[in-house]
Chains A and B, each alone.
Chain A
Amino acid sequence: MVRKIFVSAVTKPEDAFARRNPDSLSPADRDRWYCSPYPQSIAYQLQEVIPHSRADQIRQVAQNEGNVLSRIKGIILLITLAALFTSGLAVSAAMATAMFERRTEVGLMKALGAGYFPLSMIFVTESVLLACGGGLVGFVFGALLARELGRAIFGSQIIVEPVLLPVILGIAVAVTFAGSAFAIRRAVKYDPVLALRGEA
């Protein structure tokens, strides 16, 4: 006869919502609670499947796991933000140099009558295209890097979700736009006369 069963389940860290009593929740919330992998909801479902049983979470494992995991998740998120910020600055520096090198081109277009808005649109479009290309290459490169790191550190595959591609492209466009806005603004303000004579 089996008296006790230990279950090892992959769970979501407990939060305030997890501690609610499912019988007092509204139907929509109850479904959300029921389908989230909280230790509580898994225990609840096990009790449903095995009549006359009692399922409890092993708090030493479940509680502390959630704690440690949320800390690590926080660090990774902050690092990601730091990486994005520095990338934005790097893009901004590179764009400033690129724009400065092209000031004769800007001067020529302005001398031929290009206005402030169409001129900036050209450069913005250019940087968006660059961002898409760079984002795509970066995505492939990053996916490979993540896979290698996953294998080296955790000994397991990190599965790269294709769903992330549009998100990455979006982030790349946003970072490039933020990074190059200043350089573009400066470029379209060049005086065509000075720029064409190479004196800007």
Chain B
Amino acid sequence: MSRTTSKSAMYFRMLRRAAILRKGQAAAALAAVIVAGAAGTAMLNLYVDVQTKLRREFRKFGANIVAQAKSGENFPPATLQRISTELGDHGLAVPFSYAVARTDKDQSVVVVGTDFNSVRQLDPWWSVSAWPKRAGEALVGARAARIINHNGQPFTLSVQERALRFSEAGTVQTGAGEDSRVYISQSDFHEWTGMNPSVIEIAASGSPADVSATIENLKLALPDADVTAVRQVTEAEANLLGKTRSTLLWSSALIVCIAALCVLATLMGWVFDRRRDFAIMKALGASDRLIALFVAGEAAIMGFAGALVGFAAGIGIADWIGHANF
């Protein structure tokens, strides 16, 4: 019993003294392991994280699900509430109601009722000079402004012989259909025309599987609506994410290989440096197995300590990259 205790005590004493006597080299070898650990952790973390980060970027493309009422019908007010509960905090649902109005010069223009606060989050690419804040204010599309030709003055629009006067809060420019519409708040729209939203645009977050599940849930919850994915957005997203991830995976593999080479070279140098020490040990009767055990023990301790520190450093680096880049 005491013999084995003293043997293992000697073993640990050797390990400890080797580290203390050759502080410089031991530190270099440890540093190499730390760098390798940090590189591996940072890369793998980034690999996992990039997907979430890029998904968030992709939500700026706007809705990826559209719920449409059957033609000629509207959603009752409870529907939006229902969709919002269904989504929880994994998405945003924005109502849109459409009507064709006539200007006082008898030209037609599409008027849209919506919730400005939500649209602002859903479609951040809209270039808006000023968002409406009060009732009776309208957001006028750049092309619609030329049709109404009101020079920033209040203007009158009529739907089914009911005329209403709006003041322009600002203009919106997107380069697409939004430019030829006039946006007013949903409450103004409802008071004016008595109509409810006919389209609800939804930005659901999560993986393609999550989005499909959301679509299925919404279909069950709204049997009279037409719920579809916006394929232009979802397909492009899946495609780009997949490609970015494989690029990242390959470059991570490359970096981890280089880091492993670094560890290999350092540890070889360290062992080579001490071949005299090993010779003395052997002359004193140490077996090959004991020396192999000794080097393996050193490598294990170094690997463990280095990996621990490297892991912490790698998380820090990945976090920093996440902040700096996104």
Contacts and interface: CB of A to CB of B under 8 A. Distances in A.
Interface string B51-65: 001100110111000
Among B36, B43, B244, max chain A CB count under 10 A is at B244
A46 to B, nearest CB: 12
Interface stretch (B219-227, B260-268, B280-288): B260-268
A31 interface: no
Contacts of A64: 57-58, 60-61, 125
Among B28, B58, B265, max chain A CB count under 10 A is at B265
Contact of B53 (A57, A71, A101): A71
A82 B246 CA distance: 18
B117 interface: no
Contact of A90 (B142, B174, B244, B262): B262
Interface string A72-107: 101110110011001101100110110011000000
Contacts of B69: none
Chain A contact patch, size range: 20 to 34
A67 interface: yes
B121 to A, nearest CB: 14
Contact of A100 (B54, B175, B272): B272
Given A86-B259, A90-B261, A96 B243 contact: no
Given A60-B62, A154-B243, A78 B173 contact: no
Interface in B223-266: 240, 243-244, 246-248, 250-252, 254-255, 258-259, 261-263, 265-266
A149 B252 CA distance: 13
B32 interface: yes
B258 A58 contact: no
Contacts of A74: 324-325
Contact of A68 (B42, B57, B269): B57
A100 B273 contact: yes
Contact of B258 (A59, A67, A86, A100): A86
B243 to A, nearest CB: 5
B176 A60 contact: yes
B268 A82 contact: no
Interface of A: prevailing SS: helix
B43 to A, nearest CB: 7
Contacts of A58: 174-176
Contacts of B67: none
B139 interface: no
B269 A100 contact: yes
Given A86-B255, A97-B268, A153-B246, A60 B61 contact: yes
Contact of A57 (B60, B142, B175): B175
Nearest to B273: A100
Interface in B158-185: 173-176, 179
A199 B281 CA distance: 17
A89 B32 contact: yes
A23 B268 CA distance: 66
A103 to B, nearest CB: 11
Interface of B: 28, 32, 35-36, 39, 42-43, 46, 50, 53-54, 57-58, 60-62, 123, 125-127, 142, 173-176, 179, 240, 243-244, 246-248, 250-252, 254-255, 258-259, 261-263, 265-266, 268-269, 272-273, 321, 324-326
14 contacts: A59-B176, A60-B61, A60-B62, A60-B123, A71-B53, A71-B57, A74-B325, A75-B321, A82-B43, A82-B255, A83-B258, A89-B259, A97-B266, A152-B246
5 interchain residue pairs of minimum CB distance: A97-B269, A93-B265, A56-B175, A90-B262, A63-B125
Given A72-B244, A78-B321, A149-B250, 13 more contacts: A57-B175, A58-B175, A58-B176, A60-B61, A60-B175, A67-B60, A71-B57, A74-B324, A89-B259, A90-B261, A93-B266, A152-B246, A153-B246
